[in-house]
Amino acid sequence: MKKILFVMLLFFGGVYFALTQNFGDVQINKYDSIEAVHSDTAIQRGWIPKVLPLSAHEIVETHDIDTNTNFGTFKYEEKDEEDFLSQLSKSNDTYSSEKFLFKINKEKNEVQFRNKIN
């Protein structure tokens, strides 16, 4: 009888683990412009950095509620680059602002961002 209970516990524990690992709370949001980001209140919810340039477009943000991690990308117009960079701190090839880290490709005017992990 104990063996059957142990096997059942092991089975249901495995099923629970498999389901929680494969079906997490991951959400992907896509925005055409900074105005769409503001309409969705993604900045207020902490999913997108406050320092996005006004010309930010093709904004994609992915967040995992279970692990509290998020990352994303966006493009910007070159005219906003200097102002955008002035709002960031730089260490090696990584920029940061508040709770986000940024990797910037100046040639393509593309930015990758992710939240800082404590």
- State what percent of residues in the chain have pLDDT above 90: 58
For 24-41, the pLDDT digits (tens) are 688 899 999 999 999 998
Q: Give CA separation, 37 vs 5, 52, 62, in Å.
A: 51, 10, 13
Under 8 Å between Cβ of 26 and 64 = yes
Q: Indicate the average pLDDT of the chain.
A: 86
Per-domain residue ranges of the chain: 25-115
CA distance linking residue 118 with residue 39, whole number of Å = 29
CA distances from 43 to 25, 89, 109, 113 (A): 19, 19, 21, 13
